[in-house]
Amino acid sequence: MLDKNGIAKRIAKELKNGYYVNLGIGIPTLVANYIPKGLEVVLQSENGLLGMGPFPFDGEEDADLINAGKQTITTLPGSAIFDSAMSFGMIRSQKVDLTILGAMEVSENGDIANWKIPGKMVKGMGGAMDLVASAKNIIVAMQHVNKAGESKLLPECTLPLTGVRCIKKVVTELAVLDVLPEGGFRLLERAPGVTTEYIRSVTAGKLIIEGEIPEMQLD
Amino acid sequence: MLDKNGIAKRIAKELKNGYYVNLGIGIPTLVANYIPKGLEVVLQSENGLLGMGPFPFDGEEDADLINAGKQTITTLPGSAIFDSAMSFGMIRSQKVDLTILGAMEVSENGDIANWKIPGKMVKGMGGAMDLVASAKNIIVAMQHVNKAGESKLLPECTLPLTGVRCIKKVVTELAVLDVLPEGGFRLLERAPGVTTEYIRSVTAGKLIIEGEIPEMQLD
Amino acid sequence: MINKTVQNAEEAIKDIEDGMTLMLGGFGLCGIPENTINALVKKGVKELTCISNNAGVDDFGIGLMLQQRQVKKMIASYVGENAEFERQLLSGELEVELIPQGTLATRCMASGYGMPAIFTPAGVGTEVAEGKETRNFNGKEYLMEMAFESDFAIVKAWKGDTAGNLVYRATARNFNPVMAMAGKITIAEVEELVEPGELDPDQIHTPGIYIHRIFQGKNYEKRIEQRTVRQK
Amino acid sequence: MINKTVQNAEEAIKDIEDGMTLMLGGFGLCGIPENTINALVKKGVKELTCISNNAGVDDFGIGLMLQQRQVKKMIASYVGENAEFERQLLSGELEVELIPQGTLATRCMASGYGMPAIFTPAGVGTEVAEGKETRNFNGKEYLMEMAFESDFAIVKAWKGDTAGNLVYRATARNFNPVMAMAGKITIAEVEELVEPGELDPDQIHTPGIYIHRIFQGKNYEKRIEQRTVRQK
């Protein structure tokens, strides 16, 4: 079973050289720490930055330079800054190769719910609806079950949707799964020490297991 | 009867302080030479410049700095440069206060034809269709009759249209005329030495003459 | 050049009245028009509809206007980090309309570009699509979203000249350029107001034609919402 | 940063084939991709559809491609100043589609902004509107015009870095930024190619994400179409 950093580390293996990547808040942000050496990957922050660098050194924070999570950050040589309309322009026109974000629920046909819980204060969707509606490749990083122990991989989402039929892959503390175009979660990899039986027991949506399922290789 | 510079001079009197103005090719370009002293008027060139300055001094031409007529020009302190999409964005959103352009024909309901003569080589509409469709205030600068001696102020345009119901005012070598919303050219001023009878004889569209028509004051 | 200068925030907002719709630039607390917000709080104008990506925090930014109950309706993409906001929302004092961030930005830009509506896939199949026209282009569904206009747009830039030309700094740019284009009247406050000619024409982010009033702000606090650092 | 550098124009166009659609930046002869056009002429690729505001003059710019009969269809807003163009058009060798200049620019931008269509009033009531959907918003008629995409967009900038970030100079900017966004593959030629970090991130006109290939051009002629001067 993986911790948050493990999930991030596994997702980082999905990166390819030359990718432009948008990282959501939470576990996705951690992916930046595990970009494989030798890969050139450019991070896009939807508040208007391409080429997001690491957090600034203590004392060097710049209030004018933040990421979409409102954290102080830095630029890199070759960074570019632009306004919010162009930022979502490049997202909508699929110039961003990969989007990684968190979710409350994912359904077996690729729907995602991650912005609203009825009865609770709704903070808003931010850029999530734009990202999921536009991205050509979306990976969800999340826990396999919620705090109540219920599966977050469902036949259908129960929460209000953020986007429909858009999620291509899910990485949890237990497994890596593809979401198939025809519906269903195809199990690709198990986290170290986790059995397919256990994954089956916490996956409410249609789970497809074909042949031997390998353990994740994290290093 | 006015010459081209006279027409430009008369139109220049329509400028108001703080106006952003787009000048078409031909007589409209000459208007820049007669902007009344003390008025702050900013010229927009639709290839991407606000604050068009005079032609450069001989030897100081810059191939990268031209106007929409492809003439070498200069910038002024406070000029701004932008791309073609933003340029027509500010035209469409009516941030440009006044557009002055030439015409082959204007109809009594404000239609304009100025881009195409069937049977002749068609060079294209350039930015004219965008300008006439969007501008809140358009003045046409043209000769009252064409080379064949026929009126260019017509009941209906005979040439392919550039825009419909958009022209507010026409200034010719003979007269200043408003185009009324309900249709018709209302004669406002006569050029020095020109009679209302003569203007009537060369105006094919509905001409409205109410009361005494004053002579233009050019200075 | 046309001189757009006003003395200060008070003069810039002199004709902002109860019930108006205001757009306010900024992302979180980054690039917000601090001086103008403070002047609006002081003026006490009420029943406002505010369009802004976020709603500030309890004691800064639009949060200050919420504390004074000046906001009737908030149109935003994300409104967390604000306890008073939550209280007013739950008590029904405050109306909120949540809009996808890219849709918000593009609806503002549409206004500045004279486009009455735009198409975006954001929100298709969700409650955001309710009551909206959808349309299929090349096999993909899009929502038609209308251009946004406001009585006043209020933006903050780094530098500006008296002709209204603006230059933003780093990610404090965010929504400011698109909102600057969408105000019937646009007010710009800048950290440094310079004379025409001091800004390079090639490097202007917002041409002065979009700006109606400009002034040099003072005492910028530029509060940081999430100070995140690494150690040397 | 991702390195987009190619050696030269020849390498940049190596996979441009007969029958493709190309967008070419520039306004008149100002800001045109001279090196790439020359390479296309040398390569002799044919049956091209070219989208560009103008078609050059007889012996410069796209005019060079017309001389070699490389262009099957020209999509432009204004095509004067070119005798060979006129000859081919009248003889039926060349197909021409004329589009209002603002519509041309906005259809390119729409592509880069992921908007499948835009609304513009330009051409309403004229032959440009024939066969197009019109729609009334707030009492005004608009045409729906579709986003433009091209196999290759070819643009010219003043400076660029190896990550593809571009800065344009003066009105040589014109259509280049909007076309840069609309190519399935975008080629940028620049007068000066620099290392990442040499361009100010705040001052980049086209972010590198839109650019696939970049090279430093040489021997720029930068011909002036209408040399107009005043005397001292």
Taking an 8 Å cut-off on Cβ atoms, the answer to whether B78 and C196 are in contact is yes
pLDDT higher than threshold 90 for residue C90? no
Q: Which of A14, A46, A173, A197 is catalytic?
A: A46
Q: What is the pLDDT of residue C35?
A: 98
Torsion of CA A24, A27, A29, A32, to 10 degrees: -130
Q: What domains appear along chain A, each with residue ranges and CATH number?
A: 4-208 (3.40.1080.10)
Chain D positions in Cβ-Cβ contact with residue C117 (cut-off 8 Å): 119, 137
Ranges under pLDDT 70 in chain D: none
* Shortest Cα distance, chain A CAs vs residue C226, angstroms: 5
pLDDT band at C81 (very low <50, low <70, confident <90, very high): confident
Q: Which of chain D's residues have a Cβ under 8 Å away from the Cβ of C168?
A: 202
Please give the residue of chain B at the shortest CA–CA distance from D157. B64
CA nearest C108 in B: which residue? Answer: B93
CA angle C121, C111, D183 (to 5 degrees): 55
Query: How much is the mean pLDDT over chain C?
Result: 96
Label the pairing between strands D134-137 and D140-146. Answer: antiparallel
The token duo for B29 is 């370009």
What is the β-pairing status of strands B42-45 and A153-154?
unpaired
Nearest CB to D1 within list A78, A81, A91: A78
* Residue C226: strand pairing partners: A71
B79/C contact by beta carbon, under 8 A: yes
DSSP string, chain C: ----B-SSHHHHTTT--TT-EEEE--BTTBT--HHHHHHHHHHT--SEEEE-S---BTTBTHHHHHHTT-EEEEEES---S-HHHHHHHHTTSSEEEE--HHHHHHHHHHHHTT-SEEEE-TTTTSGGGTT--EEEETTEEEEEEEPP-EEEEEEEEEEEETT--EE--GGG-TTHHHHHTSEEEEEEEEEEEE-TTSS-GGG-SB-GGG-SEEEE--------SB---B--
* Active-site annotation holder among B14, B40, B46, B173: B46
- How many contiguous H segments (helices) and E segments (strands) does chain B have? 5, 13
* ipTM score assigned to the predicted complex: 0.97
Mean pLDDT estimate for chain D:
97
Catalytic residue status for A173: no
**A9 pLDDT higher than 90:** yes
Q: Are D157 and D206 within 8 A, CB to CB?
A: yes
Write out pLDDT tens, residues A117-153: 998 888 999 999 999 999 999 999 999 999 999 999 9
Predicted confidence (pLDDT) per residue in D48-105, tens digit? 999 999 999 999 999 999 999 999 999 999 997 788 888 898 899 999 999 999 999 9
d(CA B64, CA C17): 46
Residues in chain A: 219
Residues of C in contact with A66 (CB under 8 A): 27-28, 30, 171, 224-226
* Chains near A (3 or more Cβ pairs under 8 Å): C, D
The pLDDT, as a whole number, for residue A219 is 77
Supply B135's token pair.
Answer: 């501008």
Taking the CB of residue D20, how many other CB atoms lie within 10 A of it?
17
C115: which chain B residues are within 8 Å (Cβ-Cβ)? Answer: 92
CB A176 within 8 A of CB A10: yes
Q: Inspect the interface and report whether the beta carbons of A85 and C225 lie closer than 8 Å.
A: no
Work out the mean pLDDT of chain A and round it to a whole number.
96
pTM above 0.90, yes or no: yes
DSSP label of D30: B
Report yes or no on chains C and D touching (3+ CB pairs under 8 A). Answer: yes
Pick the residue from chain D with its C-alpha nearest to A96.
Answer: D209
H-assigned helices in chain B: 4-12, 27-30, 84-92, 128-134, 196-201
pLDDT by residue, tens only, chain B of 219 residues: 899 999 999 999 999 999 999 999 889 999 999 999 999 999 999 999 999 999 999 999 999 999 999 999 999 999 999 999 999 999 999 999 999 999 999 999 999 999 999 988 889 999 999 999 999 999 999 999 999 999 999 999 999 999 999 999 999 999 999 999 999 999 999 999 999 999 999 999 999 999 999 999 987
Q: What is the pLDDT of residue B219?
A: 77
Task: Flag if C142 and D116 touch (Cβ within 8 Å).
Answer: yes
Instruction: Flag if D168 and C202 touch (Cβ within 8 Å).
Output: yes
pLDDT band at C5 (very low <50, low <70, confident <90, very high): very high
Cβ pair B133:D120 closer than 8 A? yes
Please name the chains neighbouring D, where neighbouring means 3+ C-beta pairs under 8 angstroms: A, B, C
> B81 vs C1: CB contact, 8 Å cut-off?
no
CA distances from C96 to C69, C74, C105, C123, C143 (A): 14, 5, 17, 17, 21
Question: Tokens representing B24?
Answer: 């078409």
Enumerate residues 6+ apart whose C-beta is below 8 A from B90.
B44, B96, C112, C114, C207, C209, C210
Q: Which chain A residue shows the shortest CA-CA distance from C78?
A: A124
By the CB < 8 Å criterion, does B82 face chain C?
yes
pLDDT for the residue numbered A122: 87
Confidence of residue A196 (pLDDT cuts 50, 70, 90): very high
Q: What pLDDT score does D81 carry?
A: 78
